[in-house]
């Protein structure tokens, strides 16, 4: 049996899914949470130049938002887990290195960089791709604190690649990045 939370919330007696989410959070004391993704391919502007990862869509939210398409902002202090999955693609004829890390309130977060080496393309016009999954746990000590995801690569042939809906076989679209944030504890 499939469960569509958007349909459940849409049909709730509160009138819309956000009000129902808020009611459930209050009733069951859920932590604050949100899921984000970006439906666009994200190209690099220049090699070895850090740039923020953008997020243009979200789902299932309570107490976490995105500002300016890059700042994952916490409405409440607390301990949070953040997991992201990036679809890293390489159209270059050689393998390329890419680096990913977090900024907290605009500053690099210590010991958060991860490196990935993406193999050379499969064929001209057919990139090689790898999924990168990273999980962090950290504290937002005050309301309004935010994190941003940053990256750079050794080639502009590397991108965070989205994919359109598949036709043979039929598959859902694939975002370039997916992010989930959930509160795991209160600030002590």
For the chain, the domains span 1-30, 31-185
Exposed/middle/buried for 187, CB within 10 Å: 0-12, 13-18, 19+?
A: exposed
Percent of the chain scored above 70 by pLDDT? 83
Decide which of 75 and 185 is more confident: 75
Phi-psi region of 15 (alpha: psi -120 to 50; beta: other; left: phi over 0): left
Do residues 177 and 38 make contact, with C-beta atoms less than 8 angstroms apart?
yes
| Span 133-169, pLDDT tens digits | 999 999 999 999 999 999 999 999 999 999 999 998 9
Q: Is the pLDDT of residue 68 over 50?
A: yes
pLDDT at 16: 53
* Whole-number Å distance between alpha carbons of 113 and 95: 19
| Span 105-134, pLDDT tens digits | 999 999 999 999 999 998 888 999 999 999
Tell me the whole-structure pTM to 2 decimals. Answer: 0.82
Considering the four listed CATH numbers 2.30.40.10, 1.10.20.60, 3.40.190.10, 2.60.120.40, the one that applies to the domain covering 31-185 is 2.60.120.40
């Amino acid at each position: 049996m499939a469960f569509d939370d958007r349909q459940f919330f849409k049909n709730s007696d509160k009138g819309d899914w956000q009000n129902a989410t808020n009611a459930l959070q209050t009733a069951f004391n859920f932590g604050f949470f949100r899921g984000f993704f970006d439906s666009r391919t994200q190209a690099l502007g220049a090699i070895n130049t850090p740039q923020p990862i953008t997020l243009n869509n979200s789902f299932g939210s309570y107490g976490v938002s995105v500002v300016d398409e890059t700042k994952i902002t916490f409405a409440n202090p607390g301990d949070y887990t953040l997991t992201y999955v990036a679809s890293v693609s390489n159209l270059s004829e050689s393998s390329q290195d890419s680096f990913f890390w977090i900024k907290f309130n605009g500053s690099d977060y210590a010991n958060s960089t991860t490196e990935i080496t993406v193999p050379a393309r499969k064929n001209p016009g057919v990139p090689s791709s790898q999924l990168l999954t990273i999980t962090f746990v950290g504290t937002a000590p005050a309301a309004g604190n935010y994190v941003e995801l940053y990256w750079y690569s050794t080639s502009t042939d590397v991108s965070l690649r989205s994919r359109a809906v598949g036709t043979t076989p039929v598959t859902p679209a694939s975002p370039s990045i997916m992010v989930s944030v959930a509160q795991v504890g209160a600030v002590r």
